[in-house]
């Protein structure tokens, strides 16, 4: 298997594109024609060959471009990467988890050789060849969490467990759906989820926290979350709202299919061995409405979900202003035919 990496941008001229293969493997998040918050958690990794669920950390055609975009964001705002001092061990755990997984799952792209704590890491797509001492921070150019997450797609949160709760004590966050690490760092599970409407009352967060605390290192899990983004922008942060917020107003009936993206987060949960911390990678996938509609089942279903969604959720997810145009556009792909259960396209 050889992988082609796209030359593309996630800001400015927005040249991001999905190949037809990337569209077909897009993690469409709706398994039915309606949506409500739930504790939608299943085991990970595991899924059809070629799907983003197959491997622990999915690497796709956007890898190199996403890492360049992260570099730009970090250069402008170093506070997107923070780690409280007691989280360094968790950083090493995460580095090990990602290096071991990638070398195992993508041997043609990544290679890890270990002799005790003397490690040799080769990352071909990014042109990195590094020898270092595991657990010795002086042998890396930056902290272990920052080092490895500059080489892994998606955002990362590292949670410290104490007092029966999880605390967001470290993270690398540059492709987030409108939340801020700098604001949330040091908060607990209920504090950082406070802005989410309805879910707390439904008991979703109590159940989700209990589940997360019971995650052991033998078994990891995933869930999908989603929102809507105008233009293929990874950095939709509150810090930069002035840059992307106004772009919501550029949607017209003519361009909505190309400029309106469904943004899906593949969130996974891992108990880390040495620190007993929890790792929470949040991988972002983008697909515009035009591309979604190439899969007839997805076009029909997305129309129904967005037409019937609770107005509070449309408001919270930030697409209420364009909801009418989006639903109108998608209606042309909905002939009223029934849809099959599950998230995968029909052949």
Partner 1 sequence: MRKLALKVTEIETLSPLVKRFRFEDPKGGALPVFSGGAHITVEMPEGETIRRNSYSLISDPYDGSGYEIAVRREDRGRGGSRFMHTQVREGDEITVSSPANLFQLDLRARKHVLLAGGIGITPFLSQLRQLGMEQKPYELHYAARSREEAAGLKLLPEAAHIHIHISEEGARMDLGAILDGQPLGTHVYTCGPDGLIKAVADQASRLGWPRTAVHSEAFTAPPPGEPFEVVVKSSGKTVTVKADQSLLEALEAAKVEIDYSCRGGACGRCQTHVTACDGRILHNDHWLSEAERAEQKTIMPCMSRFKGARLELDL
Residues belonging to the active site: 223
x-or-dash pattern for ligand HEM, window 182-201, by CB under 6 A?
A: --x-------xx-xx--x--
Residue 96 backbone phi and psi in degrees, to 5: -65, -45
Question: Considering the complex, what minimum distance in angstroms separates the CB of residue 169 from partner 1?
Answer: 9
Residues 68-87 that bind partner 1 (CB under 8 A): 84-86
Choosing from 18, 268, 275, 295, the residue that interacts with partner 1 (CB under 8 A) is 275
Residue 162 contacts which entry, partner 1, ligand HEM, none (Cβ below 5-8 A, type-dependent): partner 1
Report the candidate in 134, 137, 106, 138 with the shortest Cα–Cα distance to residue 122.
106
Q: Does 37 bind ligand HEM (CB under 6 A)?
A: yes
Choosing from 32, 120, 131, 162, the residue that interacts with partner 1 (CB under 8 A) is 162
Residues 165-184 that bind ligand HEM (CB under 6 A): 166, 168, 177, 179, 184
Residues 6 or more apart whose Cβ sits within 8 Å of residue 37: 196, 198, 199, 202, 204, 313
Question: Considering the complex, what minimum distance in angstroms separates the CB of residue 164 from ligand HEM?
Answer: 14
Task: Name which of 122 and 135 has its Cβ closer to partner 1.
Answer: 135
x-or-dash pattern for ligand HEM, window 248-287, by CB under 6 A?
A: --------------------------------x-------
How far does CA 345 lie from the centroid of its chain?
A: 21
Residues 286-345 that bind partner 1 (CB under 8 A): none
Q: What phi-psi label fits residue 159: left (phi over 0), alpha (psi between -120 and 50 degrees) or beta?
A: beta
Q: Do residues 284 and 175 make contact, with C-beta atoms less than 8 angstroms apart?
A: yes
For the chain, give the number of residues: 347
Residues 6 or more apart whose Cβ sits within 8 Å of residue 303: 327, 330, 331, 333, 334
Residues 6 or more apart whose Cβ sits within 8 Å of residue 153: 57, 58, 59, 60, 62, 63, 66, 67, 283, 284
Q: What kind and span of H or E run contains 112?
A: strand 110-115
Q: Does 215 bind ligand HEM (CB under 6 A)?
A: no
Question: Considering the complex, what minimum distance in angstroms separates the CB of residue 157 from partner 1?
Answer: 17
x-or-dash pattern for partner 1, window 184-223, by CB under 8 A?
A: --------------------------x--xx-xxxx----
d(CA 221, CA 41): 7
Part of the chain binding partner 1 (CB under 8 A), chosen from 7-15, 235-243, 249-257, 266-274: 266-274
Q: What phi-psi label fits residue 14: left (phi over 0), alpha (psi between -120 and 50 degrees) or beta?
A: left
End-to-end Cα separation, the chain, in angstroms: 24
Neighbours of 347 (CB within 10 A): 6
d(CA 29, CA 9): 24
x-or-dash pattern for ligand HEM, window 149-168, by CB under 6 A?
A: --------x-x------x-x
Q: Does 13 bind partner 1 (CB under 8 A)?
A: no
Read off the DSSP letter of residue 197: S
- List contacts with ligand HEM (CB under 6 A): 37, 39, 157, 159, 166, 168, 177, 179, 184, 192-193, 195-196, 199, 204, 208, 212, 223, 225, 227, 280, 316-317
- List contacts with partner 1 (CB under 8 A): 84-86, 89, 135, 160-163, 210, 213-214, 216-219, 271, 273-276
């Amino acid at each position: 298997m050889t992988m082609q990496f796209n030359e593309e941008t996630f800001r400015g001229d927005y040249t991001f594109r999905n190949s037809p293969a990337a569209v077909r493997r897009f993690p469409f998040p709706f398994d039915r024609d309606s949506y409500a918050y739930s504790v939608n958690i299943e085991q990970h990794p595991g899924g059809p060959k070629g799907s983003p669920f197959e491997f622990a950390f999915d690497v796709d055609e956007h890898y190199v471009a996403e890492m360049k975009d992260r570099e730009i964001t970090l250069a402008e705002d170093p506070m997107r990467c923070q780690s409280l001092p007691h989280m360094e061990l968790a950083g090493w755990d995460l580095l090990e988890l990602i290096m071991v997984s990638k070398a195992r799952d993508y041997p043609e792209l990544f290679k890890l050789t270990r002799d005790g704590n003397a490690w040799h890491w080769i990352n071909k797509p990014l042109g990195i060849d590094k020898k270092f001492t595991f657990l010795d921070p002086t042998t890396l150019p930056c902290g272990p969490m920052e080092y490895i997450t500059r080489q892994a797609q998606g955002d990362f949160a590292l949670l410290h467990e104490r007092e029966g709760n999880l605390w967001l004590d470290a993270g690398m966050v540059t492709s987030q759906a409108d939340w801020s690490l700098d604001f949330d760092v040091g908060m607990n599970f209920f504090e950082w989820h406070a802005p989410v409407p309805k879910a707390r009352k439904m008991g979703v967060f109590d159940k989700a926290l209990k589940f997360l605390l019971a995650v052991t290192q033998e078994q990891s899990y995933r869930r999908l979350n989603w929102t809507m983004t105008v233009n293929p922008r990874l950095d939709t942060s509150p810090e930069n709202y002035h840059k992307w917020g106004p772009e919501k107003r550029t949607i017209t009936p003519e361009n909505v299919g190309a400029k309106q993206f469904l943004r899906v987060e593949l969130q996974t949960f891992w108990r880390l061995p040495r620190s007993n911390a929890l790792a929470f990678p949040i991988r972002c996938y983008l697909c515009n409405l035009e591309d979604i509609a190439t899969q007839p089942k997805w076009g029909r279903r997305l129309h129904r979900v967005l037409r019937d969604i609770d107005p509070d959720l449309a408001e919270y997810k930030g697409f209420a202003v364009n909801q009418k145009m989006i639903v109108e556009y998608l209606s042309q792909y909905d002939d009223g035919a029934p849809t099959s259960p599950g998230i995968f396209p029909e052949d």
